[in-house]
Amino acid sequence: MLSNSGEMSKDHHVEYIDITQHWCDKSEKFAGADALVTYLTTGWEIEEPIEYGERDFAGMRAVRVYYVKLCKDDETKTMPVLHNPYVNRLLRREKIELVPMNA
């Protein structure tokens, strides 16, 4: 993930609670911003673009989900992150390219 200066941004936690949150793709369908921040601060990087889609919950409301592709060394994984104001700020600040799923 690049900053405006072209360097990797290391301050993902600046605007977020300073916590560590484990996320396991085998047991959790979705992750929160805290899990994404944990991955980013432990050396994982975002691969662009990020796909997003709407997900209906309980048939009453749709929530945006960002499918964040992460890589570290030779390992990759996709973390489905639920929309929230922190994630939106992070994506805007880092100028991450977003594309709708199936675009």
Domain that holds residue 76: 1-103
pLDDT per position as a tens digit, 68-79 = 999 999 999 999
Measured from the Cβ of residue 48, the count of other Cβ atoms closer than 10 Å reads: 15
- Token pair, residue 85, equals 């104001």
Percent of the chain with pLDDT over 90: 39
How many domains does the chain fold into? 1
Written as one string, the DSSP assignment of 26-93 is TT-S-B-HHHHHHHHHTT-EEEEEEEEEEEEETTTEEEEEEEEEEEETTEEEEEEEE--HHHHHHHHH
Question: Can you give the pTM of this predicted structure?
Answer: 0.77
Residues 34-51 have pLDDT tens digits of 889 888 988 999 999 999
pLDDT at 8 > cutoff 70 = no
